[in-house]
Amino acid sequence: MNARIAVRANRLGTLVTGRPGDLVIDYAAELPGPVYDIMYNSSTGWFSVTVFTGLDQPRRWDNRPGTDPGYPRIDNILGASTPMAILAVLDVPPDAIGYVVRSLGG
């Protein structure tokens, strides 16, 4: 087992937290998916979710509208379109990724 990750059940399947690296792509290829890769930078407030479905082209939601997210952009994750709402629909506690709500002033 990779010591940089933690694995636990959640209501959608399995929650893997930490730094799984390329395992996300491996999981997507092997599991019935989709696999949601949540990334968050506490310094900048950047939050994104990349959705992997099998070997199809990944898609990404991020909180930087008007920028190139690196993959085709999607408008929501399971109908949610804010970081807190996305975490809720994916059954991911905010503290599992160190997420904190940032004010617009910084």
Mean pLDDT (whole number) for 8-28: 78
Check if the beta carbon of residue 48 is closer than 8 Å to that of residue 69.
yes
First to last CA, the chain: 38
| 46 or 14, which is more confident | 46
pTM score: 0.83
Residue 62 to residue 2: CA distance in whole angstroms: 27
**Partners of 14 in the β-ladder:** 9
Mean pLDDT (whole number) for 52-66: 91
Instruction: Tell me whether the omega of the peptide bond preceding residue 34 falls within 30 degrees of 0, making it cis.
Output: yes
47: exposed, middle or buried (Cβ count in 10 Å: 0-12, 13-18, 19+): buried
- pLDDT confidence tier of residue 22, bands split at 50, 70 and 90: confident
Least confident of 7-11, 67-71, 76-80: 7-11
